[in-house]
Amino acid sequence: MALLESLAFVFVAGLITALATGIGALPFFLVDDVSDRWNVALWGLASGIMVAASGFGLIDEGMAEAGGLTVKLLLGLLAGVVLVVVADEVLSYVNVSDHADTEPATDGGHPHAHEEDHDHHVDPQALAEGNLKKMVLILGILTVHSFPEGVAVGVSFAELGLEGAGGVSILGFAVPVLAVFMTLAISIHNIPEGLAISIPLRSLDVSEWRMVGLAVFSSLPQPIGAVIAFYFVRVAREWLPFGFGFAAGAMVFLVLTEFIPEALESGVDLRWNGYPELAAGVSVGVAVMVPLAMI
CA distance linking residue 110 with residue 62, whole number of Å: 40
User: What is the domain count for the chain?
Assistant: 1
Taking the C-alpha atoms of residue 173 and residue 147, their distance in angstroms, rounded to an integer, is 25
Residue 99: what pLDDT? 42
Q: What is the pLDDT of residue 94?
A: 62
Show the domain range for 193.
2-293
Residue among 239, 187, 164, 172 nearest 5 (CA): 172
Instruction: In whole angstroms, give the CA distance from residue 287 to residue 114.
Output: 41
Q: Which of 250, 254, 291, 245 has the alpha carbon at shortest distance from 60?
A: 245
Across 49-57, average pLDDT = 84
Report which of residues 186 and 162 the model is more confident about.
186
For the CA atoms of the chain, what is the radius of gyration?
19
122 forms bridges with which residues in the sheet? 96
Q: Would the pLDDT of 268 be above 60?
A: yes
Residue 105 pLDDT more than 80?
no
Q: pLDDT tens, 65-77?
A: 777 778 888 998 9
120-163 residue pLDDT tens = 456 666 666 666 666 666 666 666 667 788 888 998 898 886 66
Q: What is the mean pLDDT of the chain?
A: 78
Q: What is the mean pLDDT of residues 3-25?
A: 91
Query: The whole model's pTM is what?
Result: 0.77
pLDDT of residue 107: 44
Question: Please, which residues bridge with residue 173 across strands?
Answer: 170
- Over pLDDT 90: what percentage of the chain? 10
- The residue count of the chain comes to 295
What is the amino acid identity at position 148? P
d(CA 210, CA 215): 8
pLDDT at 18: 92
Q: What is the pLDDT of residue 109?
A: 43
* Predicted local distance difference test score (pLDDT) of residue 118: 38
How confident is the model over 204-250, as pLDDT tens digits?
788 889 889 888 988 888 999 899 989 988 888 778 888 888 888 98
Residue 236, Cα to own-chain centre: how many angstroms? 24
- Give dist(CA 258, CA 267) in Å, integer: 14
**What is the residue-wise DSSP string for 87-123?**
HHHHHTT--B-SS---B--SSSS--B--SS--GGGB-
CA–CA separation, 121 vs 29, rounded Å?
A: 26
